[in-house]
Structure 1
Amino acid sequence: MKQSICGQQPLVLLGRNILLNVVQYYITKPSKEVGKRLRLKKLPGYPHEYGFGYYYQGDILLRPGKKNRFAVTSPTNYDVWPNATVPYEIEADFTDEETETLLAAFAQFESSTCVRFVQRTDELEYVTITNNGEGCYSYVGRDSDPAYNTLNLQTPGCMNSVSTPVHELMHAIGFMHEQSRPDRDTYIQFFPQNLAPKYQNANFINTNFAIYNGTSTTYGQPYDFVSVMHYSRFAAAATSIFPVLVKRNDNQAELGNDDGLSAGDVAQVMARYCPDD
């Protein structure tokens, strides 16, 4: 007998609240509690989804004063890295294997797009890559204050495949989550009743599962179910049995991927950083 995806938890009756165009704003700070979760590895979903309840949408740190300034990507350019070049500095004790994983993540961008990650010399704006025990997270886009250009990849949890480093690098160059697109509900069904019980409230849902408004841009690209920026089916789920996000007309389809940039991701990066290529 085919199992229902609706789950067994009581339905949270939020009506249109889950479709808010304005995402509730809050400033987030790194948390060791997220690191503990990742070490235990008892939750379903990708490693960069372990920060729910601590980080915005699971893995994003928000800067002060940047309320609702972006969506899938922002149509403005103030958070874009000039000349498609991202200086970085590693303040982490990665193993040789983990370093290779990070370099492989850089290489995906360099082989498919015009974006380049280069070791910092004397640049004032750069990404600092750390591996503190605080999970996987990044700020979104470039900031004039290096303190707000940090990207963390806790080891080993965030470095078991190339996809999480690529996901966080996408945030660092200014991209948000695919399932936050204004057209998400045309393609994806959201089952709030399958969230972990502590997340079944309007505040959590409106903050972490809202769709963005018309100020966002998708550069005319179709919805990408396998984007490295897409949540898994079980993001913030109570169990790995009942999914939270489901592709319409194919409720067994996987969402996101464990390999890195999809063709759709490449198209988005090219449209934003290399429109003339």
Structure 2
Amino acid sequence: RSSIVPETSLWSSPVPYVLENNLGLNIKGIVLRALDRLRLKSCIDFKPWDKMEEYYINHSFDVMALYSRCFSMIGREVKNGQILQLAEACQRISIAEHEFLHALGFMHEHQRFDRDDFVTINFTNVIQGLEVNFIKAEKDQYTTQSTQYDYWSVMHYGPNAFSNGNGTTITTKNPRFMPIIGQTLGISATDVLELNLLYNCGLSYFMHVNTAKGEKGDSAWLETKRVTSKRKCAIKCLQFYYYHMNSESNDLNIWIREFENEQDFVGRHRLIGRISGNNSSTDTETYKTFQVEFEVQRGEVPSTGGISIDDINLSEIQCPHVTLQIDSLPEIYNQTAQGYTIYSYNVYSTVGYRYSFGVSMEHPFIGMFIQLVSGKYDNELTWPVPDSQVTMQVLDQSPNIQSHMSYERSTYRWGKPEDHGTYYIDDYNQTVYFGPKIGIKNFIPYEKMLLRHFLKGGSAVFNIFFEGSTDIIVSVSSCVDQCFSNCCTTGGATRRSSAFRWYHLKLYCCALDLDQVALPKPNLIFGGTW
């Protein structure tokens, strides 16, 4: 991953882009998720082209390149719509990030001028005419920003890229990196570092409260810094881990303090969530400068433990809609039969489709799927499910969200469970239909779960994002509609556990009148050896 030297080839933020009308919903959703990741990990923002800028990225769809071509120019080069293309076979968020990094000014990692110290390029195994993808960069035209060679880079080809069938095209000098190069998780920590260095871009907190002493109602507080949204329509997602020990009478309260202006040092203080026993938190809205405050309050029952909070991250990205945390995953994987599955509860999407999802042990893989379930709104909904996308994700649990390399895949379109599924009679003598499982049995190799931070204390976190077309494609002027349609549920579990629980809370970006809007109730999902 070498980056261009001339500043004239760099973009000004926000970078304008166009998504052509002939793009499918799934690829649009993947592109927008990739842009959100780049926003999250750098100071670079993106915006829909307003027809004023000469330079903008034009994401197009070429019918002649339906299944194969994915490409982008390097840096800002062409006026009136610089083409970036993701064909049908390229519908992964990591590939979208790869092409957008090209557009932002990056060559491939294996084309660095110092690459011969780290890899060997086997040109005799490269398809004739495609050797250009392996030519070294000129030292006077590109810079590495003094970063180390990165086998994890999303800009690094895999061992068999453009192979003519006679063997590998790239061999790492250190054999242990052969399974790493060409990873499809996404932008790496060193990719992020070099991107921020190239564009001159400018915490994680821990808290433990011992509740063994003190009186009922005594509190301890942790405050974040003041935060102001970078975007006009920002989706704020608060994520953290907590460990509730001993007495469930102790409360973890989550507050938000909003400020009117820079001279306001007091602000307006509101409770937005509470974790107490098995009760969940509630959603709220904020669109001003604000800070988040955590309060641990001692209960009346004597306690020998307390509450710990760790890895607090606040970001302008979409919260997961449903979360399934599975504790002791290595033991479950090694001790259960092929196909053993852990299911979530049945939940409703924001527009009324009922569904559940599952994680299955598909040795040597972990499988993941979603299943539509018959619900009370089915006769009022459109079938097959129109213009909707589901993204399945295994969460990278690195402490800093900017270092996350979560693994995810997206899918779309399902039929009505009553027409295509099986049924059973529930406890209320009602017939419930389950649609076919839509997902991937070989979603992620189990050994890959051990390479990154997918496991934390033996626990893995699986997320589902269920989004309709209004969630995916929305103009800046429809900020209120976006915030309401993206109503996010809380995740994780609030019961006491032998492991830290992962938790997320949506902070609405718009000023909604909560007295006039019926928000969906939170969904609490947790896993185990059920």
- TM-score norm. by structure 2 comes to 0.35
Q: Which amino acid aligns with 1:191?
A: N
Q: Which amino acid aligns with 1:257?
A: Q
The yes-or-no answer on 1:152 pairing with 2:85 is yes
Contact residue 19 and residue 28 of structure 2 kept, 8 A: no
Tell me by how many angstroms 1:275 deviates: 4.0
Contact residue 141 and residue 174 of structure 1 kept, 8 A: yes
Alignment of 1:1-277 (within 5 A): 72-82=2-12, 84-121=13-50, 122-133=52-63, 134=65, 135-143=69-77, 145-147=79-81, 149-154=82-87, 156-159=88-91, 161-196=92-127, 198=128, 205=131, 207-215=132-140, 216-239=142-165, 242-250=167-175, 252-276=178-202
Contact residue 106 and residue 117 of structure 1 kept, 8 A: yes
For residues 119-175 of structure 1, give each alpha carbon's deviation from its aligned partner in whole angstroms, at most 9, with x where no partner exists: 11122211111011331111121135224x111112x2121x101111111111111
Secondary structure at 2:184 match in 1? coil
For 2:119 and 2:43, locate their aligned partners in 1 and report how far apart those are by CA, in whole Å.
31
For 1:144 and 1:157, locate their aligned partners in 2 and report how far apart those are by CA, in whole Å.
26
| Partner residue in 2 for 1:25 | none
For 2:190 and 2:173, locate their aligned partners in 1 and report how far apart those are by CA, in whole Å.
19
Secondary structure at 2:7 match in 1? coil
Tell me by how many angstroms 1:112 deviates: 0.7
Contact residue 113 and residue 274 of structure 1 kept, 8 A: no
Contact residue 182 and residue 212 of structure 1 kept, 8 A: yes
For 2:74 and 2:174, locate their aligned partners in 1 and report how far apart those are by CA, in whole Å.
32
Secondary structure at 2:135 match in 1? coil
Q: Which amino acid aligns with 1:107?
A: D
For 1:115 and 1:158, locate their aligned partners in 2 and report how far apart those are by CA, in whole Å.
24
For 1:259 and 1:117, locate their aligned partners in 2 and report how far apart those are by CA, in whole Å.
22
Q: Which amino acid aligns with 1:247?
A: T
- CA gap of 1:92–1:165, structure 2 versus 1, over 3 A, is farther
For 1:102 and 1:229, locate their aligned partners in 2 and report how far apart those are by CA, in whole Å.
17
Contact residue 108 and residue 260 of structure 1 kept, 8 A: no
For 1:138 and 1:145, locate their aligned partners in 2 and report how far apart those are by CA, in whole Å.
14
Identity %: 27
Contact residue 189 and residue 246 of structure 1 kept, 8 A: yes
For residues 27-74 of structure 1, give each alpha carbon's deviation from its aligned partner in whole angstroms, at most 9, with x where no partner exists: xxxxxxxxxxxxxxxxxxxxxxxxxxxxxxxxxxxxxxxxxxxx8212
For 2:144 and 2:135, locate their aligned partners in 1 and report how far apart those are by CA, in whole Å.
16
- The total of aligned residue pairs comes to 195
Contact residue 231 and residue 255 of structure 1 kept, 8 A: yes
- Pair member with larger Rg: 2
For 1:87 and 1:210, locate their aligned partners in 2 and report how far apart those are by CA, in whole Å.
30
Q: Greater strand percent: which structure?
A: 2
- TM-score norm. by structure 1 comes to 0.65
Contact residue 181 and residue 211 of structure 1 kept, 8 A: yes
Q: Which amino acid aligns with 2:93?
A: V
- CA gap of 1:248–1:75, structure 2 versus 1, over 3 A, is same
Contact residue 151 and residue 181 of structure 2 kept, 8 A: yes
Secondary structure at 2:154 match in 1? coil
Secondary structure at 2:182 match in 1? coil
Contact residue 142 and residue 172 of structure 1 kept, 8 A: yes
Q: Give the stretch that moved more between structures: 251-260 or 213-222.
A: 251-260
- CA gap of 1:153–1:208, structure 2 versus 1, over 3 A, is closer
Q: Which amino acid aligns with 2:75?
A: G
Contact residue 228 and residue 256 of structure 1 kept, 8 A: yes
Q: Which amino acid aligns with 1:218?
A: T
For 1:191 and 1:143, locate their aligned partners in 2 and report how far apart those are by CA, in whole Å.
31
For 1:98 and 1:145, locate their aligned partners in 2 and report how far apart those are by CA, in whole Å.
24
For residues 221-266 of structure 1, give each alpha carbon's deviation from its aligned partner in whole angstroms, at most 9, with x where no partner exists: 1001121111111111123x72110111216433122122111110
Instruction: Give the aligned CA root-mean-square deviation in angstroms.
Output: 1.9
Higher relative contact order (CA 8 A, sep 6+): 1
For 2:145 and 2:171, locate their aligned partners in 1 and report how far apart those are by CA, in whole Å.
24
Q: Which amino acid aligns with 1:127?
A: I
Contact residue 43 and residue 196 of structure 2 kept, 8 A: yes
Contact residue 246 and residue 253 of structure 1 kept, 8 A: no
Secondary structure at 1:242 match in 2? coil
- CA gap of 1:229–1:158, structure 2 versus 1, over 3 A, is same
For 2:201 and 2:26, locate their aligned partners in 1 and report how far apart those are by CA, in whole Å.
34
